[in-house]
Each structure stands twice: as C-alpha cells, then as structure tokens.
Structure 1
Amino acid sequence: MKLYHFALSGHAHRARLFMSLLGIPHEVVDVDLRSGAHKTPEFLALNPFGQLPVLDDNGTIIADSNAILVYLATKFGRTDWLPQDAKGAAMVQRWLSVAAGDLAFGPAAARLITVFGAKFNPDDVIARAHVLLKRLEAHLAEREWLVGAQPTIADVALYSYLSSAPEGNVDLSAYPRVNAFLRRIEALPGFVPFAKTRAGLAAAA
C-alpha cells in the first residue's frame, strides 16, 4: 500500500496513524502541498479534488481521510475499530461527521491561519473550537472513548487536529477530559505522533 501524505496535514496524519495502529505495512509518499504538488496532473489523476491523503491499495484508489479509515477497518475485518451493529456504526459515523464539520471548521481552521496563513476570521474559528471542546468534555464525562468501551476510528478521526489545537491559538487547558483522551490515544501500541510546529500557543510552550 502507498499513502500519499503531507507531514503537516492532520487529515493525512489520521490515515497514517490508523495504518500504524493496525500494523499495516505501507509506503509513505510525501506530497509537498506548499509547492503545489497536489495540483499536478499526475496527482489529480489520483484525486481530482487535489487533496491529501490518498491511499493506493495495489491500484484501488481511496481519497479522503475518513473514507480511508472506513476502507482499512473494513478490508482487514477490524470490527473492533468499526462496529458493524446498527447503533455502533451510526455512532461512529456521527463522529466522522463531526471530524468533517465542527473539527474542520474549528480547531483545524484555526491552525490553518497560523501555520498556513489561511484567511479565516480567527475569533470565529477559535469560538467554534471551544464550542466543540465543551461538547467533547461533557461527552467524555463517563467514558474513555467516543464510542463504546474501546477505541474506534471515531477517536482516530478527531485526534490529530485536537492535539494540535494550541498551534491555532486554541487553549486546551480548561478541558482535562479531552487532554486525558488525547493521552490515551498516544498510549496505544503503534501510535505515531503528528508533526508539531512552533505556531500559536505552541510557540510559547
């Protein structure tokens, strides 16, 4: 398997993290977003949306980080990571939607401003980030994982941009349960860290 990847992309990291947690042998192909390598005809042939990550499984091409998580869990029969019962599957899908929505337009967008110079309104995206963090803090009051009694792809989908939220000037200090949740993921066998930058609050750390 090949994973087309960019080290500072949280979307790419969630795919790489899950492959490592499952112990799947793979080749990482670095694609330099800053030089526009994701807009070349060669890359657009893999993903016409020009986005990372992309998984090449011996010619089967899967784009979109959440789709890659679902593909890998299904291909390898990992029902521990992707429940197949109706309720469990629906609950995981709910959090994948949060990853593509609230997380992307909150913590991830805030980090895009400081790391990549994106033109979002920082007050707006930081406020959205704290709305999500408060909801997560409440959700984790009586559970260790987002769905059920063990980690699933839902947890993987949220990790990268939550852990890097301080780089976007999103302070995590008021959320002890969220921080404990991040440490639990980091303690999983096969964990690989997300590349850090000296941006936002992380610059003073």
Structure 2
Amino acid sequence: MSNANALENAPVKLYRNPKSGHCHRVELMLALLAIPYQTVDLDMAHGAHRAPDYLAISPLGQVPAIEDNGLTLADSNAILIYLAERYGDPATWIGSDPVEKAGVQRWLSIAAGEIASGPCAARLVSVFGAPLDHQAAKAKAHALFAVMDAHLEGRQWLAADRPTLADIAGYSYVAHAPEGGVSLAAYPQVRAWLSRIEALPRFIGMARSPALA
C-alpha cells in the first residue's frame, strides 16, 4: 500500500488549523503513539469551522476535533486522554497512581488556563491579530514560565519521571512563545524541558511563524 493510500485509510482523521498549538498537541500525541492519521485543514478565515457538517463533529466550532471509526471528539485535552486510553499505555501517559494522575490533571488544567491566557493569547495577537490585551498576556506568560522554571529545577518532566500528557499538553504554546513576543531566555529549565520533548522518538514540530516582539 502506498503512503498516500495508507494515510487515506488511516483510522484517525484530525481536523485542524496547522498553526494552532491546540491542534499540534494532538498531532504530536498521534505521532508519539505511531497512530496512522490524516489531517483535514479547515479554512477558518472563511468560516469552515462554522459549517453545519463540522458543527456536527465539534458543536462549539473549535479545533482540533477527531473522527475515529465512527467516534467524533473535540477539545484537545479530551482527545489526548482518549488517545492515551485507546492507543497507548494509560499508566504511562495519564499516571500510575493517584499522585501522578493528580499531577497530570493539574498541568492539563494549566494548559487550559494559564497557558491559554498567557503564551497562547500573546501568540494569537502577534500571529493572528486577535483583539486581546497583548501586554497582559505576555505578563501572564512570564509569570507562568517563572513558576515552571522553578518547578523543573531538578526534574526532567512536569508530572512524573517520564513524559506524560502534562508535557504534551504544555509543549506547543511554550515552545512557540517567542512568536508572541515572549522570550524564553530567562528560563533555562523550561528550555531544557522543551529540548527533551523534541528529542523524543517520532517527535514532530509545528510550523513556526516569524517571531514578533
């Protein structure tokens, strides 16, 4: 079977914007788990995410979303949980005991909270022209990165002694923070953590936009 045919018949279909960190975290997980998948890039500038057929898949009109053998699922963190449970080793990726599971959940909440309102929001302003408070978003990003840098002192990973969903959910917008005008120069532990993720087998990156200060 050719590679093109293999992708066409892949079990997982990923609806995405290729410049979205929320989409990238799902694509990164698919790659790390070696799950065959195909991508469907939505023309969001022209309202593809509001089309009735897409709203049937993602009722809030958000990306990413996936289809997998009849299942449809939206929300990047929910998709990460699904992929880890369905195709991976949940004990490895979600946690092997209550403490690890709680630690992973904490960082999933941070991904949906402080990361979204900090480095993600700053990048939305610079890359997409979103009408958000750029200075406030950059300040939130730096406050978060200071906490992350201290947390990673003496640690390799955010929630356990190995990569977990905490690291996958956090990577994309932290790695691309400079595109939103947020320098990582003052955070050596964060930069080392990013490098460890990028060294994982089957890692795939997200296309970079020009950094805008």
Cα displacement string for residues 114-142 of structure 1 (whole angstroms, at most 9, x for unaligned residues): 11111111111100000100000000001
Matches within 5 A, 1:1-205: 1-78=12-89, 79-201=91-213
Residue 35 of structure 1: how far off its partner (Å)? 2.0
Cα displacement string for residues 81-116 of structure 1 (whole angstroms, at most 9, x for unaligned residues): 111421111110000000000000000000000111
Residue 67 of structure 1: how far off its partner (Å)? 0.3
Structure 1's consecutive aligned runs of 4 or more residues displaced over 4 angstroms after TM superposition are none
The farther-off stretch of 173-182 and 69-78 is 69-78
Is the 8 Å Cα contact of residues 119 and 180 (structure 2) preserved in structure 1? yes
Amino acid at match of 2:58: N
| Secondary structure at 1:69 match in 2 | helix
- Structure 1 distance, partners of 2:95, 2:194, is 21
| Secondary structure at 1:104 match in 2 | helix
TM-score (norm 1): 0.96
RMSD: 0.9
- Structure 2 distance, partners of 1:26, 1:33, is 21
Amino acid at match of 2:200: L
| Secondary structure at 1:198 match in 2 | coil
The 1:191–1:77 alpha-carbon spacing in structure 2 relative to 1, beyond 3 Å, is: closer
- Structure 2 distance, partners of 1:198, 1:76, is 35
The farther-off stretch of 28-37 and 41-50 is 28-37
TM-score (norm 2): 0.92
The farther-off stretch of 71-80 and 164-173 is 71-80
Amino acid at match of 2:121: A
Cα displacement string for residues 19-69 of structure 1 (whole angstroms, at most 9, x for unaligned residues): 000100111111122222111111111111000000111111111000000
Residue 77 of structure 1: how far off its partner (Å)? 4.3
Is the 8 Å Cα contact of residues 111 and 170 (structure 2) preserved in structure 1? yes
- Structure 2 distance, partners of 1:72, 1:49, is 21
Structure 1, gaps ≥5 residues long: none
- Structure 2 distance, partners of 1:66, 1:15, is 8
- Structure 2 distance, partners of 1:197, 1:34, is 17
Structure 2, gaps ≥5 residues long: 1-11
The farther-off stretch of 163-172 and 77-86 is 77-86
Residue 76 of structure 1: how far off its partner (Å)? 2.3
- Structure 2 distance, partners of 1:96, 1:64, is 12
- Structure 1 distance, partners of 2:59, 2:27, is 21
- Structure 2 distance, partners of 1:77, 1:126, is 35
